[in-house]
Structure 1
């Protein structure tokens, strides 16, 4: 390695998701010549997965560009006329109880406003979990507001908690660290920027400088990505190189490896994947951080099934109905918190399911899921819903190359005194050379769970290598 340069250094990136592509393209921009990517799936994108459905495409994974200022995704494409402002279109939520009663708009607005004001806000530090903080402040604020039916207030709080869990990919808010909530750096500006009818894959095309109308074109990464190369072993014991063995038996060697596999894969495989074993601080971060499950449903109809004045609906369970549901085979429907129209796809509805119920849903047949959703619609909605013509669901936890959707920090993370910073720490040789580096949204301290966080970490690790070689001149 003493004679290695940017032109000769062999760099292998594991994973062709947002962080892996960001790292590879940045390295090439910085003058590195020998850069390649090994991808376990038979496609690029990772948790960005745009697929044909309905009248154009939908995103099975990342869907929105969240924010403008401080969002590297937005900054990269803002002048390319690719993003569309969603505005308040999806905020017109109809809250419906399990007896088909629709909450008055005034009641829903009051309770929703109280929920938002009950979340931790800088510079305050919250005790307990995010769920503890939200629940205590919610009831305290309601006690000082106009009188409201406490039963309905409780039902709406439980639904909004599920909605908030979709932000953190947590099973419930009582496991979420309030410190993480405070440390997440929100990007100001439009929160739900959509990709019109092109999907999030169009951003990857921009990163790679690829032709947008040619699916197989990878731009600057043409010839550098090997698909269906799932890793069986990352051996970093050798003083000079890292040896990578794939499940199909093929072996690659590298001077530097940037590992961008999901936290779920690290949790499941790190003990067998890395030789020698990872240091204790790294293992503590892998165990302490959470990779949860958020799944989606897309339903296609001959025409939009919601009435003209319905854009989105969230479900409020009456206690006795919920008790009955929990004792049935359709218990998993408790994790479905709502459905809404799909922008630029007028014949579609999109639904969301979280946590342990989402993981169970993945084990059911497609027909069982559709039947369950039809039962749910009949239970709640004050109008008839037709059978969908086509149905699509996601199954992020079942996929061995992901094992979940995105990461969050829990109270357990804080108890272990670990976090993304420990996950991001590279494995160095005795001379300080980065041998194995780690990127991906879970390694971002302030933008975890987001695509822009994933991209930032890919750039971070590329810059780490660039700085290393710049210092050796």
Structure 2
């Protein structure tokens, strides 16, 4: 069924003469505004905040969902606080987000390593030497050194690990222990990168990321950031449950952009900042933008995938495993699960979550993640309890807390965590994220649409600070454009 709010003649997004007439009608009724920000995630809110700070007040933010935050979503339920989306502040003083959180006195103190109950076991609970984890960590750290990934620029990030493990692990890849190590390493890397498959991610893209050091967490939830970004901003400038279905960026007016929501509200803006996730843009760009986006920009968008990573969080009133927070690593040496439980093969690390040691978290990536989104909650619980009983040998009580995220099913995200340039995308010439941030320039040569979001950051993609910095970047671009256009206007005589 067509979702185009202007009407069309068959295929979704196709435009006929009636629609063209309707455009003129919409133009005549549209509300004028200086800037429309599309998306109320961290990038959009950062853009909004920056515009306000620099004196641009005639702004409207349109958010498709009924809440702000985007892929930041803090849940408070039954006295438990969990993060359905972003969880970490990646890095220290070099990270603008860490500096902001420190200024707010909102960074929690990390637990020392020896405070954790680290366990390394097979799927049947047999103890495994921590050497497996240490070797995986060594390879993951080595890849961050200058030049290590250069030989793999024409292939995948995963190929680096496959090749290096042959050198680093003496028994070799083809032994039973080598295959178990490789499986463990693959899923640990997919956890860290938020990708579906390490063989799909370009090694060249992975090499662009700059690491800022240790991870940190918020004392009282990631939504502390959302509250901070909206301080002093009038509620009237943020419109929730307002998905944008059309952006006419080269209108008969030619000076402004016509933005239309699914409810039929229309706005004429001097500039538009699009902060939608790359997953949503990839899926909907043909239907949303008129004229269609330039081929070079489409090529760049289609070269970048958004990884699907979901969380399963299971909790008890008291931790049945002991008093210390649990860090359980599973080394799969046999693969004997029933087909409907095969998603559990991807679970190689189960751990206690921040500030709630009675709640365990499983991170599920790729095809397994999509599969889990479609399973009934009682089946997921059953599978998790089976795995925990098998690897610990304990009788596991029924949980009192359960949550499962569904980021791929969300049409406004179509994924979560990290975007990545694919191997095929890199071969097509997409090597830098600024290729996804080229402004749309209309027939008058005016830059009318700009792009923000973690996927447009060259070196900090997949991070909240990357999203925040790109929102600020594009807001400052708009401020500069507005000041430039104002300076060209004739002086008004008194």
State the 1:9 CA deviation: 5.8
Equivalent in the alignment of 1:173: 198
SS at match of 2:206: helix
Contact kept? 2:33, 2:60, Cα under 8 Å:
no
Q: Given the two structures, how large is their TM-score scaled by the length of structure 1?
A: 0.89
> Within 2, Cα distance between the matches of 1:110 and 1:296?
25
**Paired residues of 1:296 and 1:351 also in contact (CA < 8 A):** yes
Q: Where do 5+ consecutive residues of structure 2 fail to align? A: 1-31, 488-494
Please give the alpha-carbon distance, in whole angstroms, between the structure 1 residues aligned to 2:373 and 2:55: 44
Q: How far apart, in 1, do the equivalents of 2:133 and 2:381 lie?
A: 31
1:235-269 superposed Cα distances (whole Å, 9 cap, x missing partner):
11211221122122222221111011111111111
Question: How far did residue 113 of structure 1 move?
Answer: 4.5
Asked whether 1:447 is paired with 2:460, we answer yes
Question: What does residue range 349-428 of structure 1 map to in structure 2 within 5 Å?
Answer: 349-405=360-416, 406-418=418-430, 419-428=432-441
Distance 1:126 1:280, change over 3 A: same
The residue that corresponds to 2:283 in the other structure is 268
Aligned equivalent of 2:296: 281
Separation in 2 of the partners of 1:43 and 1:88? 35
User: SS at the partner of 1:452?
Assistant: helix
Structure 1 distance, partners of 2:314, 2:174, is: 34
Does the 8 Å CA contact 1:54/1:347 hold for their aligned counterparts?
no
Q: Does 1:195 align with 2:218?
A: yes
Contact 2:209 2:458 in 1 (8 A): yes
| Distance in 1 between residues matched to 2:57 and 2:217, nearest whole Å | 35
1:381 positional shift: 2.0
User: How many residues were matched structurally?
Assistant: 447
| Structure 1 residues 311 and 70, CA gap change in structure 2 (3 angstroms) | same
- Partner of 2:236: helix, strand, or coil? coil
Q: 1:47-62 to 2 correspondence within 5 Å?
A: 47-62=71-86
Change in 2 beyond 3 A, CA 1:160/1:366: same
Cα distance change of structure 1 residues 435 and 149 upon mapping to structure 2, 3 Å threshold: closer
Output the CA distance in 1 between the equivalents of 2:160 and 2:116: 24
Match of 1:295, SS state, is strand
TM-score normalized with structure 2 length: 0.86
- Answer with 1 or 2: which has the greater Rg: 2
Match of 1:69 among 93, 96, 104: 93
* Aligned mates of 1:117, 1:348 — CA distance in 2: 29
Structure 1 stretch displaced more, 175-184 or 353-362: 175-184
Alignment RMSD: 2.2
- CA distance in structure 2 between the aligned counterparts of 1:153 and 1:114, rounded to whole angstroms: 16
Match of 2:333 among 295, 305, 318: 318
How far the C-alpha of 1:85 sits from its partner, in A, is 3.0
Choose from 193, 205, 208 the match for 2:227. 205
CA displacement, residues 429-463 of structure 1 (integer Å, 9 cap, x when unaligned) = 24442211111111111111000000011011001
**Would the alpha carbon gap of residues 43 and 151 (structure 1) be closer, same or farther in structure 2, given more than 3 Å must change?**
same
Query: Contact 1:439–1:454 (CA<8 Å) still a contact in 2?
Result: yes
The 8 Å contact of residues 166 and 173 in structure 2, kept in 1 or not, is answered as: no
